Amino acid sequence: MAQTFTMDDLKQRLQARQHKMTPQRQTVLQVFLDHPGEHLSAEDVYGILRQGSSEIGLATVYRSLELLSDLEILQKMEFGDGCSRYEVNTTNPLEHHHHHLICTTCGKVTEFEDDLLDELEGDIQNKLGFKVLNHQVKFYGTCKECQKEN
């Protein structure tokens, strides 16, 4: 199950991987702590920082997101629209990640935790000898709000 992280937790995770918590990285991470459960692109983060009068440039945001993703502090996700989105990686490596419902009309992304694929993973291991360590599921469709509008 996902857990909540503080800036100190994230700082420790960064330092454990031999990296410093620079003011820019802290500012970028704070955006994610202030917007829990949201899937933010580099442009989203940059826009939020600009609203707060931050002087951090878009290139620094991109570099910070890539490093934090490479270090598995942030989870990088692709939803098929050519735009990478990120969220704090709160998953236990022994558990599955949550899955996503993606509205193809408005772009809204909704998470769901139900993991209905355990039986399938068992079948894969039994029949093919392949041990699944993890999986990600993305469902594309139309959200309730967009269905009401049509």
- Binding-site annotation: residue ranges: 97, 103, 106, 135, 143, 146
| Binding site listing for Fe cation | 97, 135
Backbone phi, then psi, for 66, in 5-degree steps?
-65, -45
Measured in whole angstroms, the distance separating CA 142 from the mean position of its chain's CA atoms is 21
Helix, strand or coil for residue 103? strand
Residue set of the binding site for Zn(2+): 103, 106, 143, 146
Give the containing element (helix H, strand E) for 111.
strand 109-112
Length of the chain as a residue count: 150
